[in-house]
């Protein structure tokens, strides 16, 4: 049976601004998204029956339709029934490296890998844009996770404009193992507390004036690392940090450790810090470890990546492994 193994990169937010409500119930957003080489490995194997099987080496990842990877395979099965009849179903094995419920788009990255891998497995010949359109029906982060790199995301986060690659950045990430923050809770709480400042959907001038992502986009274009670190911004910190003091303490520890900049990623609770090099990233990590001696606190050091989903191996012909921290 044919098989593919893919790497699915995690995502951090360098910028997250909430503009207002959308008619579809989502928020209108302006974000700068960045792939990092902390990645899950997704193995796809044709199984010759019309079923979808999911297994994962992490106990918190569901093996059923509650898993975005399962839903991605099910979406393609419904969209392309002839391919399902011809090639059969798929077994999806997820090997987790991206922490679960961490604000790093791990589930979306897994779904993106399944879309890319099944396109190859079933020889569908879909373009990246077509895959992203399908991915957008699964979740706002899935289209970005397919392409990866650095991008400005607008709409509900699914309208993407590529930005210049930011090679050379290192990043330290930290998350309390037993702490999670619901994305739905974060956005709903933000709406409850700050909706009075929202721009109306039809008020285009208000929305134009509210957009403050320009300086960050400019700093990225100039590859000004110091400025990028200073301009990190996440509106969801306004609701998360007061309720989760551990996240605030972690952010303050990174600030004191000499990083270029630090911020909560997405809806949290992961906090990341930017560094000039992997050596500086290691130094920042050791300083934070010394400041917060918690056995529940996990750390990762990674590099910025200019890609989203990468083919790791195909069939029995293994390609050289991707270099990762």
* Domain boundaries defined on the chain: 3-312
- Mean pLDDT of all residues in 176-197: 93
Q: Is residue 200 marked as binding? A: no
- Looking at residue 23, its pLDDT comes to 84
At residue 318, does pLDDT exceed 50? Answer: no
Q: What is the 3-state secondary structure (H, E, C) of the chain?
A: CCEEEEEEEEEEEEEEEEEEECCCCCEEEEEEEEEEEEEEEEEEEECCCCCEEEEECCCCCCCCCCCHHHHHHHHHHHHCHHHHHHHCCEEEEEECCCCCCCCCCHHHHHHHHHHHHHHHHCCCCCCHHHHHHHHHCCCCCHHHHHHCCEEEEECCCCEEEECCCCCCCEEEEEEECCCCCCHHHHHHHHHHHHHHHCCCCCCHHHHHHHCCCHHHHHHHHCCCHHHHHHCCEECCHHHHHHHCHHHHHHHHHHHHCCCCEEEECCCCCCEEEEECCHHHHHHHHHHHHHHCCCCCEEEEEEEEECCCEEEEEECCEECCCCCCC
- Mean pLDDT of all residues in 218-238: 96
- Helix pair angle (128-136, 68-79), 10° resolution: 120
- Looking at residue 208, its pLDDT comes to 65
Q: Is residue 99 marked as binding? A: yes
Q: Is residue 116 marked as binding? A: no
Q: Is residue 101 marked as binding? A: yes
Report the Cα 147 to chain-centroid distance in Å: 11
Q: What is the pTM of this model?
A: 0.91
Catalytic residues: 11, 141
- Mean pLDDT of all residues in 239-243: 97
- Looking at residue 202, its pLDDT comes to 64
- Mean pLDDT of all residues in 236-252: 97
- Looking at residue 321, its pLDDT comes to 37
At residue 13, does pLDDT exceed 60? Answer: yes
CATH architecture type of domain 3-312: 2-Layer Sandwich (3.30)
- Averaged confidence pLDDT in the chain: 91
At residue 275, does pLDDT exceed 80? Answer: yes
- Looking at residue 7, its pLDDT comes to 97
197 by Cβ neighbours in 10 Å (0-12 / 13-18 / 19+) ranks as exposed
- Looking at residue 1, its pLDDT comes to 67
- Mean pLDDT of all residues in 247-267: 96
CB atoms within 10 A of CB 89: 18
Its sign, for the CA torsion 36, 107, 60, 241, is positive
At residue 297, does pLDDT exceed 70? Answer: yes
Tell me the pLDDT tens digit for each residue of 18-64.
998 888 888 889 999 999 999 999 999 999 888 999 999 999 899 89
At residue 324, does pLDDT exceed 80? Answer: no
Q: Is residue 278 marked as binding? A: no
Q: Is residue 302 marked as binding? A: no
- Looking at residue 322, its pLDDT comes to 35
């Amino acid at each position: 049976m044919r098989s593919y193994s893919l790497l699915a990169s995690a995502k951090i937010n360098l910028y997250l601004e909430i503009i207002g409500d959308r008619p579809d119930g989502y928020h209108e957003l302006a974000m700068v998204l960045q792939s990092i080489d902390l990645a899950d490995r997704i193995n796809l194997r044709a199984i010759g029956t019309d079923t979808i099987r999911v297994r994962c080496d992490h106990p918190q990842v569901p093996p059923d339709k509650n898993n975005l990877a399962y839903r991605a395979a099910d979406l393609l099965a419904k969209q392309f029934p002839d391919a399902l009849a011809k090639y059969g179903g798929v077994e999806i094995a997820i090997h987790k490296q991206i922490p679960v419920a961490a604000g790093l788009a791990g589930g979306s990255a897994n779904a993106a890998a399944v879309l890319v891998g099944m396109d190859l497995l079933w020889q569908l010949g879909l373009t990246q844009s077509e895959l992203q359109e399908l991915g957008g029906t699964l979740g706002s982060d899935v289209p970005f996770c397919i392409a990866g790199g650095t991008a400005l995301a607008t709409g509900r986060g699914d309208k993407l404009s590529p930005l210049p690659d930011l090679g050379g950045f290192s990043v330290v990430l930290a998350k309390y193992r037993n702490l999670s923050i619901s994305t739905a809770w974060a956005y709903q709480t933000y709406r409850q507390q700050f909706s009075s400042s929202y721009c109306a959907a039809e008020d285009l001038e208000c929305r134009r004036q509210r957009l403050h992502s320009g300086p960050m986009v400019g700093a990225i274009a100039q590859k000004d690392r110091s400025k990028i670190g200073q301009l990190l911004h996440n509106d969801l910190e306004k609701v998360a940090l007061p309720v989760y003091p551990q996240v605030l303490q972690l952010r303050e520890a990174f600030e004191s450790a000499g990083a270029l900049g630090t911020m909560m990623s997405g809806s949290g609770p992961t906090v990341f810090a930017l560094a000039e090099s992997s050596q500086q990233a290691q130094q920042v990590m050791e300083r934070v470890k010394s400041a917060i001696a918690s056995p529940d606190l996990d750390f990762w050091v990674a590099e910025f990546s200019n890609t989203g989903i990468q083919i790791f191996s195909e069939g029995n012909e293994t390609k050289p492994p991707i270099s990762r921290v």
